[in-house]
Amino acid sequence: MLIRPRLRALTVALSVALVWAMQAAEPLYHEALRPQFHFTPQRNWHNDPNGLVFFRGEYHLFFQHNPTGIDWGNMTWGHAVGRDLVHWQQLPNALEPDRLGAMFSGSAVVDWHNTAGFQSGREPALVAIYTAAGDTSPASKGQPFTQCLAYSNDRGRSWTKFAGNPVLPHIIGGNRDPKVVRHAPTRRWIMALFKDGHTYALFASPDLKSWTHLQDLEFPDCGECPDFFEMPVDGHRQYTRWVFTAANGHYFVGSFHGTTFTPDGPPQVADWGKNYYAVQTYSDIPKSDGRRIQIAWMNGGKYPGMPFNQQMSFPCELKLRSLPEGLRLCREPVKEIAKLHAREHAWKNVRLRPGENPLAGFGGELLDIRAELEPGAASEVGFRLRGEPVSYSVAGRKLSSLGSDAPLAPVNGRIQLQILLDRASLEVFGNDGRVSLTSCFLPKLENRSLEVYATGGAAKIVSLRVFELRSIWP
């Protein structure tokens, strides 16, 4: 009696496996679930962005990588470079595991003044500061977690580990993820380091080799991957504050004069989505540019049958703004997204009644959507993209996407949205980046439908621009 149901189940399972096998056999970078404008390595596992640094016209994107397997392990620094924050070329791996441990997360800087003495030619050296994760391999058995240096004199194409490693011995537990920034007034390097539990620390060094402890900092409900940087307030370079972020993007705003970081208040939330982690910002962006650019690992995404596993977020520009509730970080996609804009569809001043959909007949899987909506009499307005809702609750003043919510008050009765849709992710930004929701999803491959909607009453589309996007891959 059970034979036929079991045969049907087996047939379904085999059919699904066959579909995924066919998709995995598609050309590299064009597989069914391969993100088309978010960075992914050619193959295998990757997680945290590491060593984000700009030098001689190139953005370097290092990343935690398992070059030999689809799952986490064998942590190595993968490496990619790009000239526009959009298109990336993967290079050979930069740092391989050694007797001190696997290559865990860290940062990179340009040593413009040759403070470490690594420079061998006319150009300054790039220096990577990373965690050697001891006892994570047979070669490092019995070793603790320590902080180490590597340097490059050929624009990051090859790396030499410092013979004097580690430069910061083990302190406690799994101390890791050094983020280093230059503090010009004191002519010192400052390192933010995760220690253990919810404790972080700051250290200072004149040469990247010898480090002095400055302070510890408790960061509730946070761990790993610190970042520490100075930012202008409302774009005014003469008025700055310092920002300290944790892996989940939660952050303090405060003051720092070379020895002690003093938060102005409790930590804040930078992103409300499900898949936003291990955030890091770029070092050495030229003053002529002046942006603070951040990338996150979109952790927890699912990519069954694919030759890669996980993806990065699209790069975002951070701004520190004075809002009624205080100083807050705002995040928006970098302007270079426009390099991918192809066909545009636009609407202005359209009355949107329940049941109507100006996007009916359109479809897509790679989109940059920019909208200003006036909810009016509606109880809810939003989009359904490939069946996934991005909604705004008028009564709740709440923006929702893929199961996550963010508080968002209207401005002059309107809300402003930017939405990036890729093959396996939705990144939603509200009111010029006041809130963001970074999340992954597993799409129904046949569903490319698009909808803008209102429920409970009529709303107004003040403006709506839908850009079809080109792939970044050849």
How far apart, in Å, are the Cα atoms of 441 and each of 248, 276, 340, 367? Answer: 19, 13, 22, 15
Strands (E), 375-458: 380-385, 388-393, 398-401, 404-407, 415-422, 425-430, 435-440, 450-455
Q: Give the tokens for residue 72.
A: 């986490």
In terms of Cα–Cα distance, which of 271, 420, 229, 234 is closest to 336?
420
User: Residues 48, 227, 271, 422: which is the catalytic one?
Assistant: 48
Instruction: Centre a 10 Å sphere on the Cβ of residue 285 and count the other Cβ atoms it contains.
Output: 16
381 DSSP β-pair partners: 392, 454
How far apart, in Å, are the Cα atoms of 327 and each of 122, 315, 319? Answer: 42, 22, 10
48 is catalytic: yes
470 burial level (CB within 10 Å; 0-12, 13-18, 19+): middle
Q: How far apart are CA 415 and CA 434, in angstroms?
A: 11
Residue in this structure with the two tokens 């970098």, named with its chain if needed: 334
Q: How far apart are CA 71 and CA 65, in angstroms?
A: 9
Residues carrying an active site annotation: 48
